[in-house]
Amino acid sequence: MAILMQTSKPKILIPEKVSPDGLTLLKDQFEVDEKKGLSAEELKNIIGDYEALIVRSETQVTADLLSAAKKMKVVARAGVGIDNIEVGSATTHGIIVVNSPSGNINAAAEHTIALLMAVARNVGDAAQSIKAGKWERSRLVGVEVKGKTLAIVGLGKVGLTVARIANGLGMRLIAYDPYANPNLAAAASVTLRPSLAELLKEADFLTLHTPLIASTKGMIGKAELNTMKPTARILNVARGGMIDEDALVEALDAGTIAGAGIDVFTSEPPQPDSSASRLIAHPKVVATPHLGASTTEAQENVSIDVCEQVVSILLGELPRSAVNAPIILPEEYRTLQPFVSLVEKMGSLYTQHYSSTGHDSFRQTFDIVYEGKLASLNTTKPLFAALVKGLLTPITSSDGLNINIVNAEILAKERGILINEQRSRENVEDKPYSSFITLRARPTRATSHARTSGSRANSPSATRSLKPQQNEDQIIQGFVSGNKPFISRLDRFKGEFVPRGTLLICRNFDSVGKIGFVGSLLGKSNVNITFMSVAPLDEEIEERQNGEGKGGNNEALMILGVDKPVSEDVQRALIGPEGVLEASVVNF
Ligand SMILES: NC(=O)C1=CN([C@@H]2O[C@H](COP(=O)(O)OP(=O)(O)OC[C@H]3O[C@@H](n4cnc5c(N)ncnc54)[C@H](O)[C@@H]3O)[C@@H](O)[C@H]2O)C=CC1
Ligand SMILES: O=C(O)C(=O)COP(=O)(O)O
């Protein structure tokens, strides 16, 4: 596991009751603030200090709140439903949203069954009546569930668990779910119906188990209730907005629906005089205050599940249940990690080197070719994100973008950057490493956006090159050896160097005295050379470009590791017929 290299501990905010079982996993490495009862405004005022937020269903994680969450890396939902989180906004900000997709399924399913039985046998009403000193045996006669039809909307994790338990109660099971797996349905003795209308007319008990999304919002309204049997009873342990609460109260009053067991409401807690309050107060309704997931066991499960993921994310690893990031197997992620670093450095080298040597404005169409074992991986998403990060970070203010696997595609699109990912199994045998990456920028006309987006990209580049702009592909190649990234080709030059620290890259005629000339100029300005590597022209490339026999122009790249920044003045002084043709300084 990675070790955190930070002096002050990252802060995690928990504004709701989350089981301590998971929180103990956080407390050693992070500062955990449990602050309940914050207003939306109070939350917004403090959110900027935190790198992680852990919530249940009560906290509204809005776009407005996220815009103030400048350090935020992860919003964790200790449960299933993420309808209280504006996931799109989190994605744009590069914030990973995780949840616990299965920690409370059993609790929600058992609570549904509890409401089913309570509604069937008038348990709520009977409990109140007897506490009030009454003995109303004849008024409180119920119905049995055995042999009755349970109609399930949404045959996912909770829906299927409810089906399995209800099967044991001897119920007949039907379901409507356009995306259900028919084999799983059949294995749970559930017969699928092709439409909601087909389902509703057969239901003795109707139970809802879908997420609250556009297609499910208000799905049970007046018209739907009118098609149901007057003896039907309705259960909702999913989300409030799926049933029109006013229409249900009306149907219960009119006797066209017999009863309801409701755990979730359009507003929680319900406002006085709201439709939710009227539903709760109705004598034919058994209501609970969103208790579906409220068991000791479920709360332990979801707490541990999301806290483990928060730890992973804050330590720079990937979570297992990200709602807005691609799923990557841990083994694949381990394989990719050194290449993530390589690709980010290739992107950064591209932007810094080419923009400062005045070859071109920032190009926007890139091919990235993965060779060798990388070509057979299921996903290259982290590499794509690393490339976008490498390309854009040098031209973005440091407090600007948090570019990661979550938002890389959106950000690239916003900036008009097109990246074609290609895989190739060719030509790896003759290379001394098993995976190899090529980044190629194709000549495109720079847009006004690209021209104005940079700081370093706008440096006085023309003065640092003696060569006019080229209209050919700009190429960087690299590989990983012993977990260390190496650049093996830059432009037309082939030679290995490690992209780290500050590098001065000089293009010069490959003739005597150049190293001494550069060394003495740097020495005069008190800059030490820490290592040096020479990359000669790649003969194959030259032959292809100039025609066989014509030979190259005897140029080479000199790559110097330096211990201090090299000033613009020194860079300019390096250029000249006696010195180098072109110089760039890049920082990693
Ligand atoms: N009351 C509580 O405390 C709890 C409530 N829940 C809620 O239960 C609901 C279900 O959770 P899971 O089973 O884990 O979700 P899931 O994602 O496993 O299942 C949802 C199912 O709904 C289906 N579906 C989607 N749109 C549909 C539509 N228009 N019509 C019919 N079916 C549709 C999907 O195909 C999927 O099979 C969620 O809303 C969740 O938030 C979950 C846990 C506790
Ligand atoms: O997991 C869910 O979807 C739930 O509705 C549970 O909500 P809660 O964590 O109990 O506020």
- Both 510 and 448 in one domain: the answer is no
Ligand showing the shortest atom-to-Cα distance for residue 237: 1
Nearest CA to ligand 2 atom 7: 57
Distance 266 CA to ligand 2 centre (A): 14
How far apart CA 304 and CA 28 sit, in angstroms, is 15
Q: Are residues 185 and 211 in the same domain?
A: yes
Q: Are residues 422 and 465 in the same domain?
A: yes
The contacts of residue 481 (CB under 8 Å, 6+ apart) are 432, 433
**One domain, residues 448 and 559:** no
Residue nearest ligand 1's atom 6 by CA = 238
Ligand 1 in contact with 155 (CB < 6 A)? yes
Q: Is 121 a catalytic residue?
A: no
- 433 with 483, same domain: the answer is yes
Distance 67 CA to ligand 1 centre (A): 29
Closest residue CA from atom 42 of ligand 1: 80
pTM value?
0.76
Residue nearest to atom 10 of ligand 2 (CA): 293
Q: Same domain for 167 and 132?
A: yes
Q: Does one domain contain both 38 and 115?
A: no
Query: Domain total for the chain?
Result: 4
Last residue of a domain, one of 446, 474, 491: 491
How confident is the model at residue 545, as a pLDDT?
Answer: 60
Closest ligand by atom to 306 CA: 2
Query: How many C-beta atoms lie closer than 10 Å to residue 163's C-beta?
Result: 25
Nearest ligand atom owner, CA of 56:
2
Q: What is the pLDDT of residue 135?
A: 98
Rounded to whole angstroms, how far apart are CA atoms 286 and 121? 11
Rounded-to-10 torsion of CA 211, 256, 124, 132 = 150
Mutate to test the pocket of ligand 1, among 82, 105, 177, 200 (most ligand atoms within 8 A of CB): 177
Which two tokens mark 242?
């799926």
Active-site entry in 77, 290, 353, 359:
290
**Distance between CA 171 and CA 244 in Å, rounded?**
27
Catalytic residue (one of 250, 268, 317, 421): 268
Q: Within a domain: residue 73?
A: yes
In a domain, 320, yes or no: no
Regions of the chain where pLDDT drops below 50: 1-4, 398, 446-463, 466-469, 549-551
- Closest ligand to the CA of 18: 2
With a CB cutoff of 8 Å and minimum separation 6, the contacts of 574 are: 506, 518, 521, 580, 583
Is 338 domain-assigned? Answer: yes
Cβ–ligand 2 contact at 292 (below 6 Å): yes
Choose the catalytic residue: 209, 239, 278, 353: 239
Which residue, judged by its Cα, is nearest atom 3 of ligand 2?
A: 81
CA of 212 to the centre of ligand 1 (A): 8
With a 6 Å cutoff on the Cβ, whether 440 touches ligand 1 is no
Beta strands in 269-390 (DSSP E): 285-287, 365-372
84 lines ligand 2 (CB under 6 A): no
Same domain, 236 and 112: yes
> At which of 491, 526, 546 does a domain end?
491
Question: How far is ligand 2, taken at its centre, from the CA of residue 292, in Å?
Answer: 7
Residue 271 falls inside a structural domain: yes
- CATH code of residue 351: 3.30.1330.90
Q: What residues contact residue 127 under an 8 Å CB cut-off, 6+ apart? A: none
Q: Could you give the residue ranges of the DSSP H alpha helices within 156-264?
A: 157-168, 182-187, 196-200, 222-226, 245-254
Other C-beta atoms lying within 10 Å of the C-beta of residue 31: 15
Our answer to whether residue 268 is catalytic in this structure is yes
Decide if 4 is inside a domain. no
Predicted local distance difference test score (pLDDT) of residue 235: 98
Task: Give the count of beta carbons closer than 10 Å to the beta carbon of residue 46.
Answer: 15
Residue-level pLDDT at 543? 66
478 CB near ligand 2 (under 6 Å): no
For 54, the domain range is: 11-102+298-314
Cα 153 to ligand 2 centroid, rounded to whole Å = 19
CATH number assigned to the domain comprising residue 503 = 3.30.70.260
Residue 447 confidence (pLDDT): 41
Q: Is residue 321 part of a domain?
A: no
Same domain, 508 and 550: yes
- 216 domain-assigned: yes
Residues 366 and 474 both lie in one domain:
yes
Integer Cα distance of 29 and 23 in angstroms: 11
Q: Strand, coil or helix: what is 450?
A: helix
- 6 part of a folded domain: no
Q: Is 103 in the pocket of ligand 1 (CB under 6 A)?
A: no
Do 248 and 173 reside in the same domain of the chain?
yes
Residue 84 belongs to domain with CATH number: 3.40.50.720
Q: Do residue 442 and residue 355 come from a single domain?
A: yes
Residue 353 carries which DSSP code? Answer: I
290 catalytic? Reply is yes
Q: Which of 80, 102, 208, 323 to probe ligand 2 with, by most ligand atoms within 8 A of CB?
A: 80
